[in-house]
A and B are shown apart, each in its own frame.
Chain A
Amino acid sequence: MMSIFPDWIGPVARYMLEVGIANTLKLSAIALVGSSLIGITRGTLLTIRFLPLRADIPAYIEIWRGLPILVTLFIVFFMLPAVSPSLRFDALTAGAIGLILWGSAQVAETTRGAVQSIPREQHEAASALGFGWVGRHSFVIMPQALRRLLPPLVGLLVNIIQNTTIVQVIGAPELLETAERQAERLTFEGDQHAIEIYGAVMAIFFLISFPLTRLAAYLEKRLT
Chain B
Amino acid sequence: MTALFLLASFLGDVWSFTQENFDELRAGVQRTLTISAIAMAGASVIGLTLGAARAYRIPVVSQVAAVYVEVIRNTPILVQIFMLYFALPEVGIRLEAFTVAWLAVTIWGGAFNTENFRAGFEAVPARYREAGSALGFKGFATFLNIILPIGGRIALPSSINTYISVVKNTSLMYVIAYPEITTVIFGIQALTLETAEAFTVLALTYLIIVWSLSAVIRLLESHLALPETPR
Residue ranges of A at the interface with B (Cβ–Cβ < 8 Å): 62-63, 66-71, 74-75, 78-79, 82-83, 158, 162-163, 165-166, 168-169, 176, 180, 183, 192, 194-195, 197-199, 201-202, 205-206, 209-210, 213
Closest Cβ of chain A to B203, distance in Å, is 6
**Chain B positions 165-201 with a Cβ under 8 Å from a chain A Cβ:** 168-169, 171-172, 174-175, 182, 186, 189, 195-196, 199-200
A79-B195, A163-B76, A197-B87 given. 13 additional CB < 8 A pairs?
Answer: A62-B207, A69-B168, A71-B203, A74-B186, A199-B83, A201-B82, A202-B75, A205-B75, A205-B76, A205-B79, A206-B74, A213-B73, A213-B74
Q: Is the interface of A mostly helix, strand, loop or mixed?
A: helix
B79 and A68: CB pair below 8 A?
no
Closest Cβ of chain B to A141, distance in Å, is 23
Q: Name the residue on B nearest A213 (C-beta).
A: B74
Point out which of A78, A183, A202 has the most chain B C-beta atoms below 10 A from its C-beta.
Answer: A202
Residues on A with C-beta less than 8 A from B211 are: 62, 66
Q: Name the residue on A nearest B175 (C-beta).
A: A169
B137 CB–A CB distance under 8 Å: no
B79 and A198: CB pair below 8 A?
yes
B196 and A83: CB pair below 8 A?
yes
B171 and A71: CB pair below 8 A?
yes
Contacts A70-B182, A163-B76, A165-B76: A183 and B86 contacting too (C-beta < 8 A)? Answer: yes
24 interchain pairs (CB within 8 A)? A66-B206, A67-B168, A67-B203, A67-B210, A68-B171, A70-B171, A70-B172, A71-B202, A75-B203, A158-B74, A165-B76, A168-B78, A169-B175, A176-B78, A180-B86, A183-B86, A195-B87, A195-B91, A198-B87, A199-B83, A201-B82, A206-B70, A206-B74, A209-B75
B199 and A75: CB pair below 8 A?
yes
A176 and B82: CB pair below 8 A?
yes
A210 and B74: CB pair below 8 A?
yes
Residues on B with C-beta less than 8 A from A199 are: 83, 87
B228 CB–A CB distance under 8 Å: no
Assembly CA distance A66 to B212 (angstroms): 11
B207 and A66: CB pair below 8 A?
yes
Assembly CA distance A163 to B83 (angstroms): 16
Residues on A with C-beta less than 8 A from B77 are: 162
Q: How large is the interface on B (under 10, 10 to 19, 20 to 34, 35 or more residues)?
A: 35 or more
Residues on A with C-beta less than 8 A from B141 are: none
Q: Name the residue on B nearest A210 (C-beta).
A: B74
Residues on B with C-beta less than 8 A from A209 are: 73-75
Assembly CA distance A78 to B70 (angstroms): 35
B71 CB–A CB distance under 8 Å: yes
Closest Cβ of chain B to A56, distance in Å, is 16
Closest Cβ of chain B to A182, distance in Å, is 12
B90 CB–A CB distance under 8 Å: yes
Residues on A with C-beta less than 8 A from B74 are: 158, 205-206, 209-210, 213
A198 and B206: CB pair below 8 A?
no
Assembly CA distance A17 to B97 (angstroms): 30
A194 and B87: CB pair below 8 A?
yes
Assembly CA distance A67 to B199 (angstroms): 11
B182 and A162: CB pair below 8 A?
no
Residues on B with C-beta less than 8 A from A198 are: 79, 82-83, 86-87
Assembly CA distance A82 to B199 (angstroms): 11
Residues on B with C-beta less than 8 A from A67 are: 168, 203, 206-207, 210
A71 and B199: CB pair below 8 A?
yes
Residues on A with C-beta less than 8 A from B195 are: 78-79, 82
Closest Cβ of chain B to A68, distance in Å, is 4
- Across the A-B interface, the 6 shortest Cβ-Cβ residue pairs: A209-B74, A68-B171, A82-B195, A162-B76, A68-B168, A194-B87
Closest Cβ of chain A to B184, distance in Å, is 13
Assembly CA distance A67 to B208 (angstroms): 10
Closest Cβ of chain A to B209, distance in Å, is 9
Contacts A68-B169, A74-B202: A165 and B86 contacting too (C-beta < 8 A)? Answer: no
B174 and A70: CB pair below 8 A?
yes
From B87, B172, B196, A166 is in contact (CB under 8 Å) with B172
